[in-house]
Amino acid sequence: MSVTYNESARSFKLTAKDTCYVLQVVSEGYLAHTYFGKALPDDDLTYLLRLDENPFTPETNDRDRASFMDTLPFEYPTYGLGDYREHAFAIRDKNGAAACDLRYKSHRIYDGKPALDGLPATFTNTPDEAQTLEIVMEDKPAGLEVTLIYTAFTDLDVITRSAVVKNVGGDDVKLTRVYSACVEFDTEKLDMITLWGSWARERVIERSPLHHGKQSVDSMRGESSHQNNPFTALCEHKADEDSGECFGFNFVYSGNFISQAEVTQHKKTRYVMGINSADFEWLLEPGEVFTAPEVVMVHSDSGLGKMSRTFHDLYRNNLIRGEWKDKRRPILINNWEATYFNFTAEKIYQIAEQASKLGIEMMVLDDGWFGHRDSDNSSLGDWFVYEKKMEGGLKALVDRVNALGMKFGLWFEPEMVSPDSELYRAHPDWAIQVKGRPLTLCREQYVLDYSRKEVRDYVYGMMRKILDSANIEYIKWDMNRQLTEVASNALPENRQRELWHRYVLGVYDLMNRLTTDYPHILLENCSGGGARFDAGMLYYSPQIWCSDDTDAIERLKIQHGTSMCYPCSAMGAHVSDCPNHSVGRSTPFETRGHVAMVGTFGYELDVTRISQEDRDAIPAQIAEFNKYNTLVRTGDHYRIGNMFEDNLWDAWMFVSKDRSEALFEFVQVIGRANERSRRIKLKGLDPEAYYFEESKPEVKLSGAALMECGINVGGLWGDYKSKILHFVRV
């Protein structure tokens, strides 16, 4: 059983593989957080709550209730009753007052995992994969019930959380904060690891020890953002890739978020994650329900590497859906860096024709095929074919590309509208805006009000016409700006602050319709590179464009950071031309291939114009990708090098689940004279088995030797050189 209830202690224990999470009902129905960590026997852990220590429990001595409120490790703390640490939940009741008091009402335990209404969430493929605990908490005076939902996965060290709020009273209530998770740690001796970034520099790992007070990352941009990813790990100071205790938190959501740790006066840590409550308010009328998105919590007793692999397994099996979930993705060529806006249908065909001869399987037509778009200053929202560029029409091009034996994919940016567009001229009120204020332009575009069904329907109608007009088998869904002046012409004054979340729900609704109506289409998300690389998007699209920076060396960091919680199989990664358009660096074609092979793999260049030498290298590069793709897509990922700490080299591995083979990849970033070979310890092998490296089958070494002593990696001459080694079990 993954979830058990101990009647005498009134405690719930969730067991997820080697992890357990204990919470319990204490004095007067408060819900306390007792333990999160390595699996334990069925002890009564009530002593961990220190209920017998000063300042006493309300039941035994009520003279200092406020101190009790400010010290109990609450499972879902509310605002206004004396708990001055960060709260997870706050309201304004019918009188405008903010205090809220949630007490235990009931619970139920069941197999499987519920879906969250309108929201992405992890799921079970069969009910025996997980068990769920629902605890209903109530605030009688406010007429509210909050159901805390916990799911423990049987074979993964994963517990998920969310909360559903229902107005069961007769009066309106305003929700001013509904976080999804709060976890208390009985120590302040933790490091906080987050992923910050910027356009073309996404997901940089930052690690620092916690200090007293609050430390957080967040987004108020309307998307998860380049700047901070909704991921945080808290770990022991000594934790590294392979050892030490780590707790990973990832939000299955694509809008505003907060991830915050607070070290309190008693040297404890309270961690919270949820929708950012800045500019958030939700009117809950009698009978209405609000659902908070899911937080995935991973525990690892063996370092960050194990934590990441647990996230990867969960997301590959229990988050990503659809026909492409477990399939090798077609090797694509995208024309963005090849032509930008400067193309014709004939030019696209020429690229496809050359690509098809080299083994590339899909032509993706990027931005600029619609309206009258020759640059980024027009036509978003006009999803009809730009005849001047697309002479003969879209279908003719797609048919010609299909006749080459290639699939065809198309770029859309469905959430946006250009001021210079038929859509905006007809419906200026459909853009998100504050009445009476000018709209702020960003990349010459405005954001459509996706809280409005008629707006989504209209855009989707245009998209459907295009999708039904030709054999389109892939969509790149882009989103190139953040939200400003967040107000809706369709919402009443008292619901304006709901727009941030309603916008995200609208995006999810349209992605859901698209993937339901077109189940064969492979959907790749994108947001000015990787500004929406989050678990919410992975529910709709099995791959996400990682970054607009396609330079192989920059990608070492970007992909390493992304792998903290997202699987490599989901990382959009392409071989592009050199000098690289973002950084001006020239790297060997081979290295670009080895780095792109970590992800979905494809090309982002004008294959008719690159050097003959590079072009000639493509068939072998594709063969190499094909050889290792199953291993990369389904195997365990091990980070070995770390460019954030030592930028002279990088290395990583993929090991098959049965440990029968492993791919080792190495990049020499800077070449050095007169150096000995580098000794690198392999990871993840079976210590008792023997392995040979494919190019030297006569040399057999135990997994133990390969992992404890390592291999000598050298012989590379020059900067940015790479090498791959394939180890096979004897």
* C-beta closer to ligand DGJ: residue 34 or 418: 418
Q: How far is the CB of 558 from ligand DGJ (least distance, A)?
A: 13
d(CA 88, CA 93): 16
Q: How far is the CB of 34 from ligand DGJ (least distance, A)?
A: 45
- Residue 134 Ramachandran class (φ > 0 left, ψ -120 to 50 alpha, else beta): beta
**Beta bridge partners of residue 298, listed in sequence order:** 158, 248
Q: How many residues does the chain have?
A: 730
549 scored as a contact of ligand DGJ (CB under 6 A): no
DSSP letter (8 states) at residue 576: E
Q: How far is the CB of 533 from ligand DGJ (least distance, A)?
A: 11
* C-beta closer to ligand DGJ: residue 200 or 272: 200
Asked whether the CA dihedral 666, 670, 673, 675 is positive or negative, the reply is: negative
Q: How many residues bind ligand DGJ (CB under 6 A)?
A: 11
Among 143, 303, 414, 528, binds ligand DGJ (CB under 6 A): 528
Active site residue 44: no
Is the peptide bond preceding residue 127 cis, with omega within 30 degrees of 0? no
Choose the catalytic residue: 70, 157, 367, 548: 548
Report how far apart, in Å, the C-alpha atoms of 28 and of each of 24, 69, 108, 128, 200 are: 12, 12, 20, 34, 52
CA proximity to 310, closest of 104, 519, 155, 193 = 155
Q: How far is the CB of 366 from ligand DGJ (least distance, A)?
A: 5
In contact, 215 and 274? CB cutoff 8 Å: no
548 scored as a contact of ligand DGJ (CB under 6 A): yes
DSSP letter (8 states) at residue 212: B
* C-beta closer to ligand DGJ: residue 336 or 727: 336
Pair of tokens at residue 310: 């647990």
Among 411, 503, 566, 638, binds ligand DGJ (CB under 6 A): 411
Question: How many CB atoms sit inside 10 A of residue 702's CB?
Answer: 17
- Give, for 467, the enclosing helix (H) or strand (E): helix 453-469
Q: How far is the CB of 580 from ligand DGJ (least distance, A)?
A: 14
Report how far apart, in Å, the C-alpha atoms of 593 and of each of 324, 621, 638 are: 22, 7, 19
In contact, 416 and 381? CB cutoff 8 Å: yes
Pairing status of strand 257-263 against strand 11-16: unpaired
* C-beta closer to ligand DGJ: residue 280 or 411: 411
Angle at which helix 589-596 crosses helix 552-562, to 10 degrees, equals: 10
Distance of alpha carbon 668 from its chain centroid, rounded?
29
Q: How far is the CB of 152 from ligand DGJ (least distance, A)?
A: 37
311 scored as a contact of ligand DGJ (CB under 6 A): no
Q: How far is the CB of 545 from ligand DGJ (least distance, A)?
A: 5
Q: How far is the CB of 230 from ligand DGJ (least distance, A)?
A: 19
* C-beta closer to ligand DGJ: residue 150 or 336: 336
Among 526, 578, 598, 622, binds ligand DGJ (CB under 6 A): 526
Q: How far is the CB of 460 from ligand DGJ (least distance, A)?
A: 20
Q: Mapped to the 3 state alphabet, what secondary structure does 491-533 carry?
A: CCHHHHHHHHHHHHHHHHHHHHHHHHHCCCCEEEECECCECCC
* C-beta closer to ligand DGJ: residue 604 or 665: 604
Pair of tokens at residue 217: 């990352």
Question: How many CB atoms sit inside 10 A of residue 92's CB?
Answer: 17
Question: How many CB atoms sit inside 10 A of residue 678's CB?
Answer: 17
Site for ligand DGJ in 121-150 (CB under 6 A): none
- Which of these segments, 60-68, 426-434, 526-534, 644-652, binds ligand DGJ (CB under 6 A)? 526-534
In contact, 303 and 239? CB cutoff 8 Å: yes
Among 545, 603, 638, 720, binds ligand DGJ (CB under 6 A): 545
Choose the catalytic residue: 93, 101, 313, 478: 478
- Which of these segments, 175-183, 390-398, 524-532, 652-660, binds ligand DGJ (CB under 6 A)? 524-532
Among 381, 529, 536, 567, binds ligand DGJ (CB under 6 A): 529
Q: What is the three-class DSSP state of 277? A: coil
| Residue closest to ligand DGJ when measured from CB atoms | 367
* C-beta closer to ligand DGJ: residue 143 or 528: 528
Q: How far is the CB of 529 from ligand DGJ (least distance, A)?
A: 4
Q: How far is the CB of 364 from ligand DGJ (least distance, A)?
A: 9
Tokens 């660096």 identify what position? 585
d(CA 137, CA 101): 9
Q: How far is the CB of 413 from ligand DGJ (least distance, A)?
A: 7
The radius of gyration of the chain from alpha carbons, rounded to an integer in Å, stands at 27
Q: Tell me the per-residue interface mask from 446 to 485 with ligand DGJ, x by CB under 6 A, - otherwise.
A: --------------------------------x-x-----
* C-beta closer to ligand DGJ: residue 331 or 526: 526
Active site residue 548: yes
* C-beta closer to ligand DGJ: residue 199 or 644: 199
d(CA 125, CA 316): 12
| Biggest alpha carbon–alpha carbon distance for the chain | 84
CA proximity to 533, closest of 225, 298, 316 = 225
415 scored as a contact of ligand DGJ (CB under 6 A): no
* C-beta closer to ligand DGJ: residue 480 or 591: 480
CA proximity to 241, closest of 629, 558, 681, 577 = 681
* C-beta closer to ligand DGJ: residue 283 or 351: 351
- Which of these segments, 251-259, 523-531, 561-569, 588-596, binds ligand DGJ (CB under 6 A)? 523-531
* C-beta closer to ligand DGJ: residue 132 or 480: 480
- Which of these segments, 12-20, 23-31, 292-300, 522-530, binds ligand DGJ (CB under 6 A)? 522-530
Q: Which residues of 69-84 are buried (b: 16+ CB within 10 A; e: fewer)?
A: bbbbbbbbbbbebebe
d(CA 649, CA 629): 23
Phi, psi of 423 (to 5 degrees): -60, -45
Site for ligand DGJ in 339-378 (CB under 6 A): 366-367
Q: How far is the CB of 160 from ligand DGJ (least distance, A)?
A: 30
Report how far apart, in Å, the C-alpha atoms of 509 and of each of 448, 452, 457, 460, 704 are: 14, 11, 10, 11, 50
DSSP letter (8 states) at residue 128: G
- Give, for 11, the enclosing helix (H) or strand (E): strand 11-16
336 scored as a contact of ligand DGJ (CB under 6 A): yes
In contact, 559 and 599? CB cutoff 8 Å: yes
- Which of these segments, 48-56, 502-510, 521-529, 535-543, binds ligand DGJ (CB under 6 A)? 521-529
* C-beta closer to ligand DGJ: residue 367 or 665: 367
Site for ligand DGJ in 76-105 (CB under 6 A): none
Phi, psi of 519 (to 5 degrees): -65, -20
- Which of these segments, 283-291, 352-360, 418-426, 525-533, binds ligand DGJ (CB under 6 A)? 525-533
* Binding stretches for ligand DGJ (CB under 6 A): 336, 366-367, 411, 478, 480, 526, 528-529, 545, 548
Active site residues: 478, 548
